[in-house]
A and B are shown apart, each in its own frame.
Chain A
Amino acid sequence: MSQTSAKTPRAHTKGDRPSDALPDKTLLKWLHDMQLIREFETRTMQAYQQAKIGGFCHIYSGQEACAVGTIAAVEHDDPVILAYRDHGHVLARGMDPKVCMAEMFGRQAGCAKGKGGSMHMFDKPNWLFGGHGIVGAQTPLGAGLAFAARYEWEVLETGKKKVCLCYLGDGAIDQGAFHEALNLASLFGLPVIYVIENNGYSMGTAIHRHTANHDRLTMRGESYGIKSVEIDGFDVLNVYDQFRPLAEECRDLQRPAFVDLKTYRYMGHSMSDPQKYRTKEEVDEWKERDSIAALASHLMRSKDDGGRACLNEDEWKEMQRSIREVVKEAVDFAESAPAPDTEAELYSDVFINPLPQSSPIRDYIHGEKNPLL
């Protein structure tokens, strides 16, 4: 099997873990959000198979603990920037599932009015600077967001210390842009955490076939003088416990970090992936450790047994049922929402300050408006 489970020990002993201080309702919210993402993606796949969603579509199922655990560890006004497998993060950040689904359906009510699609989820109120479709292209942007946040705090003296989360997959670590971004982040002291959601595959190419020294990715970060850690991304409590202090350190010191967040995706790279590069057994092995089931079990177990005892089987079923309802409503909403009005939307948002004669096509489109014809 190409992707092996992370064997990193927990950073803290029971009792003094950062998550121990969190109230039950916070952990219940995480369970809710992870299940929401799982259910949302199930419905997304259905809609895609029914050709209601177009283009490329990358499913997040399996990786929920990564988005939920890391986003919980930062403030709501810390900037976040994503790759194209972005549905999970935007839901974890608080985007309305209706708005997210509507974007994929190409509707006016989508987060980008149907101009972005699955790979390009932008949400200003939630400080989401977009999903980005070119592998690794978001990594210099992540450095720039951290630069701007630091500039705002240090030069403009109007802001506060922030930390930017920049997500990428293990495939993106091979891109030159990422190495330039790491160098700049370290050189300039930029508070950005590069969160490598390492699901073991760069599309269909297993990690040992796509990157050198694949079992020590943290060396990449370390070689640029960046604090680099490996975290088991299949255990949301562990993600939070290790990520929260790291994020605070980056914020305080205004320094970058590199996180090899070990995870696994249950579905193919995109919806058009027959997955001939891995076995069903490998997928099943990971599903046995499923992060949502593990968190639910933790919340249900007795305190004597190391659990929280804040959830029972019926409540968990009710949570799942109500999430199913919410996602179904999101699909119904997206389905019935109007498509963007071509005349109003096709030509808007090209410029903030549109100037006359910017484009040849508006005035003389296909000769149709040419008075000489």
Chain B
Amino acid sequence: MTTATAPLPPRARLVEHPALPGGYAVPDFDAELPPREGDRVIQFREALREAMSEEMRRDPRVFLMGEEVAEYNGAYKVSQGMLDEFGPKRIIDTPISENGFAGLGIAAAMYGLRPIIEFMSWSFSLVAADQILNNAPKMLYMSGGQWGCPVVFRGNNGAGGQLGSTHSWCVEGLYANVPGMKIAIPSNPYDAKGLLKTAILDPDPVFFLESERMLGDKAHVPEEEYYIPFGRARLAREGDACTLVSFGRPVNFCLEAAEALASDGVECDVLDMRTVRPLDVESVVRSLRRTNRVVVVDQSWPFGGVASEVIAQIIEKAFDWLDAPPARVNTDDLPTPYAKNMEAAYLPNPEKIAAAVKRTLR
């Protein structure tokens, strides 16, 4: 195992752990985040690239591996230019061999490196399921705390591009069932940078779920380094009529729905969970105590999914505060269709969300 270390990020502290020679850095999340309204507007994909590049410049243990990440400059141009900056020993093209390179990344992490393993799509992670579900999240426990696994798996997640059933997976519904890993799902470029930087520093396996449909989204993203904590939801909009809970791309649908509802005089809280493992139910309950109504929006399937878990925990923790049954808006419980109109009908959208809110208000 390597004992190589790296300089700490600004204001971070070092925590020792027997499974990780050299320890791990914990950012100062209480430090004030830079203002979001900067003068620079960049795309979601550029925010991801900036997060990786900043961490790679500081820590030589970090490398990026995946299909088309190097010479092709990224299948979705997330890693554009990174080969030029970091060279082929750290930006590494792989064959189409997810089970193989996912396992490679896991063992490299056990050894003490900090791999970022890119899945072109999380749909393809299914062929690596044994490695990412059996090995990454269980290694620390199975070894009695001897071997850690500080790996980040990241890539596109979710439907929306007419890719049909096999390429449209929202894996959080499946993977969130497994203990031992963290799952982050950013909804905007600012969060993408801050959450990915936190993921790379985190000493546990992190599944980082991006969205092909959001890679071109633009927003103000500070040039400074900043980190967003896992397990703290962001209140994206305030209201007292109903709480909307979501994560990832559908947060944007919730904001659209809330905007439309506001014109009818219905003001909603919109909570962007940012991570589903950990899951900040405390923030949901805090909001519920004001609104007494909740709609959970989840772009994975409904049966035994993240929305189900959110609602189960709401029932456990805030049953008495509910004035209406909790509602959920998921993708429909069927394989993803190809035809544009059918795919649109299958996915959560602002209209479905607004209708669900109105039902809880009846």
A residues neighboring B (CB under 8 Å)? 79, 81, 110-116, 120, 122-124, 127, 129-130, 132, 134, 137, 139-145, 147-149, 151-152, 154-156, 158-159, 176-177, 180-181, 183-184, 187-188, 348-353, 355-360, 364, 367, 370, 372
- The answer, among B89, B94, B108, B140, for a CB contact under 8 Å with A352, is B140
Q: Does B239 contact A (CB under 8 A)?
A: no
Contact across chains for B99 and A140 when beta carbons are under 8 A apart: yes
Contact across chains for A140 and B144 when beta carbons are under 8 A apart: no
Contact across chains for B144 and A112 when beta carbons are under 8 A apart: yes
A203 to B203, CA, bound (A): 37
Q: Report the number of A-B residue pairs with Cβ-Cβ less than 8 Å.
A: 199
Give the contacts of B257-296 with A (CB-CB under 8 A).
Answer: 277-282
**Residue from the set A116, A137, A148, A155 with the largest chain B CB neighbour count within 10 Å:** A148
Listed by A's residue number, 7 A-B pairs whose Cβ atoms lie within 8 Å are: A81-B107, A124-B143, A130-B139, A143-B100, A147-B104, A148-B107, A355-B182
Contact across chains for B282 and A357 when beta carbons are under 8 A apart: yes
Contact across chains for B320 and A372 when beta carbons are under 8 A apart: yes
A140 to B131, CA, bound (A): 9
- The answer, among B109, B135, B319, for a CB contact under 8 Å with A372, is B319
Q: Does B354 contact A (CB under 8 A)?
A: no
- The answer, among A130, A142, A143, A357, for a CB contact under 8 Å with B231, is A357
Produce 1/0 per residue, B96-136, CB < 8 A to A. 01011111111111111100000000000000001100110
**Cβ of A355: which chain B residues have Cβ within 8 Å of it?**
182, 230-231, 278
Q: Does B312 contact A (CB under 8 A)?
A: yes
Contact across chains for A158 and B111 when beta carbons are under 8 A apart: no
- The answer, among A132, A144, A158, A350, for a CB contact under 8 Å with B104, is A144
**Residue from the set A111, A134, A350 with the largest chain B CB neighbour count within 10 Å:** A350
Produce 1/0 per residue, B214-235, CB < 8 A to A. 0000000000000000110000
A357 to B231, CA, bound (A): 7
Size band of the interface chain B makes with A: 35 or more
Contact across chains for B4 and A148 when beta carbons are under 8 A apart: no
Given known contacts A349-B145, A353-B26, A357-B281, is B108 in contact with A144 (CB within 8 Å)? yes
Given known contacts A112-B142, A115-B142, A364-B316, is B202 in contact with A353 (CB within 8 Å)? yes
Q: Does B166 contact A (CB under 8 A)?
A: no
Contact across chains for B278 and A152 when beta carbons are under 8 A apart: no
Of chain A, the residue at the smallest CB distance from B233 is A357
New A-B pairs, 6, CB < 8 Å, besides A120-B142, A152-B111, A352-B24:
A112-B146, A122-B147, A144-B111, A180-B97, A183-B97, A370-B317
Cβ-closest 10 pairs across A and B: A140-B103, A144-B107, A180-B100, A112-B144, A148-B111, A122-B143, A144-B104, A113-B144, A141-B107, A349-B145
Identify which of B14-22, B156-164, B341-349 touches chain A. Answer: B14-22
**Cβ of B134: which chain A residues have Cβ within 8 Å of it?**
134, 137
Given known contacts A143-B107, A355-B182, A356-B278, is B142 in contact with A177 (CB within 8 Å)? no
- The answer, among A129, A349, A352, A367, for a CB contact under 8 Å with B107, is A129
Contact across chains for B104 and A143 when beta carbons are under 8 A apart: yes
Contact across chains for B103 and A181 when beta carbons are under 8 A apart: yes
Contact across chains for B204 and A145 when beta carbons are under 8 A apart: no
Contact across chains for B180 and A360 when beta carbons are under 8 A apart: no
- The answer, among B15, B103, B140, B203, for a CB contact under 8 Å with A144, is B103
Q: B7 → chain A, closest Cβ, in Å?
A: 14
A176 to B103, CA, bound (A): 12
**Residue from the set B3, B24, B107 with the largest chain A CB neighbour count within 10 Å:** B107
Q: Does B60 contact A (CB under 8 A)?
A: yes
A110 to B108, CA, bound (A): 25
**Cβ of B279: which chain A residues have Cβ within 8 Å of it?**
357, 360
Contact across chains for A112 and B143 when beta carbons are under 8 A apart: yes
Contact across chains for A156 and B145 when beta carbons are under 8 A apart: no
Given known contacts A79-B111, A357-B231, A370-B316, is B19 in contact with A130 (CB within 8 Å)? no
**Cβ of B252: which chain A residues have Cβ within 8 Å of it?**
none
A190 to B316, CA, bound (A): 51
Contact across chains for A184 and B4 when beta carbons are under 8 A apart: no
Contact across chains for A115 and B141 when beta carbons are under 8 A apart: yes
- The answer, among A124, A132, A142, A181, for a CB contact under 8 Å with B146, is A124
Q: B288 → chain A, closest Cβ, in Å?
A: 13
**Cβ of B146: which chain A residues have Cβ within 8 Å of it?**
112, 122-124
Contact across chains for B131 and A181 when beta carbons are under 8 A apart: no
Q: Does B10 contact A (CB under 8 A)?
A: no
**Cβ of B231: which chain A residues have Cβ within 8 Å of it?**
355-358
Q: B53 → chain A, closest Cβ, in Å?
A: 16
**Cβ of B4: which chain A residues have Cβ within 8 Å of it?**
152, 156, 158
Contact across chains for B148 and A352 when beta carbons are under 8 A apart: yes
Of chain A, the residue at the smallest CB distance from B107 is A144
Q: B133 → chain A, closest Cβ, in Å?
A: 11
Q: B15 → chain A, closest Cβ, in Å?
A: 7
Contact across chains for A358 and B142 when beta carbons are under 8 A apart: no
**Residue from the set B3, B89, B100 with the largest chain A CB neighbour count within 10 Å:** B100
Given known contacts A158-B4, A353-B15, is B107 in contact with A115 (CB within 8 Å)? no
A127 to B134, CA, bound (A): 21
Of chain B, the residue at the smallest CB distance from A184 is B100
Q: Does B90 contact A (CB under 8 A)?
A: yes
**Cβ of A357: which chain B residues have Cβ within 8 Å of it?**
231, 278-282
A358 to B180, CA, bound (A): 9
Q: B57 → chain A, closest Cβ, in Å?
A: 14
